[in-house]
Structure 1
Amino acid sequence: MTLSVENQILKSIYNHKRGKIFFPDNFNKYGSSTAVRQALNRLEDKGVLLRLARGIYLFPKKHKVLGILLPTIEDIAKAIAKRDKARIIPTGLYALNKLGFSTQVPVNVVYLTDGSPRKITIGSGSIKFKSAPTKLLAAKNDRMILIIQALKHMKKDNITLEVKKKINKILAEIPNEDIKHDIKLAPSWIRDLITKR
């Protein structure tokens, strides 16, 4: 007996761990886009899936006390980038937060990407993908590009001695060849700040 589109999708979902993010494209082989979308809607109604945003579903992980454990904005952004075979770079407040320069976790996160520019609303927050120059996405080291984005957000006049010390501590853990390569992607004042440390 041939399984229905819904049952084929369900079987596929159960082959993954809870917490996995799915897109309708993941199930193209089971039926037409309309059939897949309808099956996903039914699985959402049954509580198997949780819709995070249009076309983004979660196989929810549940905690006895906390209830459903939602993925982070970063998890969702990385899943989208993986699906689109795109590269992404966190910017602004989010870059500051990831480096430990800020405890504030922004609800609206902006990433630079070589994928399609778009904005996705997730709950009360959003993920915005902005087009970036290909050169910028050629960075070798994730932490190095985070430093560049964080400093750009802070602006030259706000760089304190404490910030410089924190940056030097992070730079000490990054291979020199990565620093030399990625420093070329930074504005001149950031290049000066990093090379004169």
Structure 2
Amino acid sequence: MPSQSVHSQVYNKIVKHKRGLLFSPSDFYDIGSVLAINTALSRLEKEKIIERIAQGIYLYPKKDPVFGNLYPSTEEIAEYIAKRDHARIIPTGAAALQKLGLSTQVPMNLVYFTDGAPRKIRIGKQSITFKPTTPKKLAVQGPISSLVIQASQEIGKSKMGGELRTRILQILQSETEKNLEHDAKLAPAWIADILKEAKKNIKL
């Protein structure tokens, strides 16, 4: 029985997964050469089996009978890239504000601190920027407190008061005491005070 072509092997490996799969050419380097893999992916794209949504990133899209192909969010794409590259990322600025529900505005440029390679990736009209940072900034443990630290720095100390501070303290009630205590040691002093206050409120 003849062996399958590289194209067939790549196709079979893709379609055995659920739709919505994000992948890169490197996921197939066990099948054939870089040139053969890129050729197979280019052919599958022309056949509309997959879509290239950014440089080196492909999608096996979900299908909707009304809306057609469904696409992952830029946040999901950023998390995929981080996982692929074995890198840590933390949303900063407007991205952190939106993720916490403190802003309804969808940022056109998502910025993440990372210990991976610096890069900027365009996804349609949006972009994802990965900025190298110090190990200290990435040493935070809390999924919520880490976002609060970044969001608070975006807001600024002078604007952090009243209803906004109360809202952030409420959000932090979903964080663990251990994470609040740990991350307070890594945050700027004025943000550390907010994390410490949230920790006290958990005990009440």
Contact 2:169 2:194 in 1 (8 A): no
Q: 1:192 deviation in Å?
A: 2.3
Give, in whole Å, the separation in 2 of the partners of 1:50 and 1:160. Answer: 46
* 1:170 correspondence with 2:162: no
Unaligned runs of 5+ in 2: 199-204
Matched with 2:71 is: 70
**What pairs up with 1:14-163 in 2 under 5 angstroms?**
14-163=15-164
Q: 1:84 deviation in Å?
A: 0.4
Decide which moves more: 50-59 or 156-165. Answer: 156-165
Q: Quote the sequence identity (%).
A: 48
Alpha-carbon RMSD across the aligned residues, in angstroms, is 1.0
SS in 2 for 1:164: helix
Give, in whole Å, the separation in 2 of the partners of 1:196 and 1:75. Answer: 32
Matched with 2:192 is: 191
SS in 1 for 2:120: strand
Q: Report how many residues are paired.
A: 197
Q: 1:156 deviation in Å?
A: 0.7
Q: 1:22 deviation in Å?
A: 0.7
Give the AA of the match of 2:122: T
C-alpha distance after superposition, 1:135-176 (max 9, x if no partner): 221211111100000000011111131111111112222111
Per the normalisation by structure 1, the TM-score is: 0.97
Give 4+ residue runs of structure 1 displaced > 3 Å after superposition: none
Per the normalisation by structure 2, the TM-score is: 0.94
